[in-house]
Structure 1
Amino acid sequence: MTSPAALDAAAALAAETPSAAIDALPWLAASLIDDAAAGRFAAWGRSTIVDENVGQAVLPRALFDELHARAGLDASWPVGNAGLLHVYGYLLSTTPTPYGLKRERWLADDLALACGLSRGAFSPWTGADTLLSRVTAAAASLLSRPDTIDEAVEGLSTRIALGDPLPDGTTALAYAVDGLIVTMFPVADAAALRSGLGGPRLRWNAA
């Protein structure tokens, strides 16, 4: 069993000794090996670790590089594999954003419930399947809906999928570029998000 405090402790190690930070979380080290061996990162596109809301990297470069090395993936800072960064990297981010810490989408139950799943469905350190495997399945299901918002951006096809809202209005969002998943997170007000999209562009740190 891990806790947010254990994630914070690992994050504190990350800038200087990223390998030790990952090894301090055995389930994370094992998940990276499992997902790499199964080729699961191939379902995900590219993302920058420089967050568009805060204008800075939300992970130290040393951890960015170590995560990609463990996953057997090539990357050129600050752009890397979106699944690796958004699913596992965000767990070790302590950078505040207007929406809270990046990890909360996996630690809280809002997103899981909005995906029609049970509480704890995205708990990183429990379950028979890796977190990436569970998130990929949920995102793929959302992106297969018939009511997606499809856009063309500089020769790329993008897709925004919004699930059915919970009673409190929380909705799950998944985003893909050229058929590859980029991100998934909970949305408090889907109508406001739709009305604020503006013209087509790459969104949510896609690169």
Structure 2
Amino acid sequence: MQTSAPQPPDLAPVLDLIAQDARQNRFSRWGTSTVIDENTGEPVIDRPLFDALHAAAGLDAQYPIGNAGVIHVYGYWFSTALTPYGYKRDRWQNGELAAALGQPETRFHLFSDPTSTPLQRVTAATLPLLRQPPTDAKVAGAQVDGLDTRVVLVAADGITADRLAANGSSICALIYGIRRGEDWQLITTFPLAGDPDVVVADFLADRRLRWNAAPQRDL
């Protein structure tokens, strides 16, 4: 785990990426999230940055609740807030999440592919799995305040009892989303170490919005 706060990227090129996504309406595939971290109770990015990112996306968000794609895929690169699980950008930078999704380790870096945006790459890797989880995934659904929510845990080489027994713990990708209308919207994705059955059991036992999801609203 990184011990010193990460150096944020230059803002202008990131705003350009966000504007590209906005022109293709890619943020509509993501739900709403808060920048208040559920573990620390503190904001992971400040209001001026929140406003700048959402302005580039053409979204009328009201701090601290905004678009999950804007906040998680882009805002987290700027976050210097330390959480119990490290820095928010770690999921995109260290390669564990990408590997669990069967992607090259640098796939979710900001500028790893000049032909696509990070949001485009993350959405392509995760939304199909949220919509139609693979047969070897761990999946749970729960209704929260009238909303259908779903968690999907996957790994590139499958999640099996034998694999867990052999490794003791494993890195898988957690994908979480909320249904809106006839389709699912992404909220977040991150690498998870440990037994996914424990996550599923807790998800079903304690039915609430999770992982910084916020009540849905039009932006």
Does structure 1 retain, via aligned residues, the 8 Å contact 2:152–2:175? yes
2:107 pairs with 1:101: no
Measure the CA separation in 1 of the matches of 2:200 and 2:87.
Answer: 23
Partner of 1:145: 133
2:11 corresponds to which letter in structure 1?
I
How many residues are treated as equivalent by the alignment?
189
**2:123 & 2:37 partners in 1: Cα distance?**
21
- Take 1:73 and 1:54, find their aligned partners in 2: how far apart are those partners? 26
Matches within 5 A, 1:107-126: 107-126=93-112
2:59 to 52, 58, 73: 73
| Preserved CA contact (<8 Å) 1:142 1:162 | no
- Which one has more relative contact order, counting CA pairs under 8 Å at least 6 apart? 2
Taking only the aligned residue pairs, the percentage that are identical comes to 43
- The TM-score, its normalising length taken from structure 1, stands at 0.85
Q: Which has the higher strand share?
A: 2
- Residue by residue over 1:84-134, the C-alpha shift from the partner in whole angstroms, topping out at 9 and shown as x without a partner, is 000000000000000000001001110001001122111111212100000
How many Å apart are 1:196 and its aligned residue? Answer: 3.2
Q: Does residue 158 in structure 1 map to residue 149 in structure 2?
A: yes
- In the other structure, the counterpart of 1:45 is 31
Alignment-derived partner of residue 8 in structure 1? 7
Q: Which residue of 2 aligns with 1:176?
A: 177
* Structure 1 vs Structure 2 CA RMSD: 1.8
Q: Whose helix proportion is higher, 1 or 2?
A: 1
> 1-side partners of 2:105 and 2:77: how far apart?
18
Structure 2, unpaired ranges of 5+: 215-219
Runs of 4+ displaced beyond 6 Å: none
- The Cα shift of 1:29 comes to 2.4
Q: In terms of mean alpha carbon deviation, does 146-155 or 126-135 score higher?
A: 146-155
Alpha carbons 2:31, 2:177 under 8 Å: kept = yes
- Is residue 176–residue 186 contact of structure 2 (8 Å, CA) maintained in 1? yes
Aligned amino acid, residue 129 of structure 1? S
Does 1:201 find its partner at 2:208?
yes
SS in 2 for 1:117: coil
Aligned position for 2:198: 192
Q: TM-score, normalised by structure 2?
A: 0.81
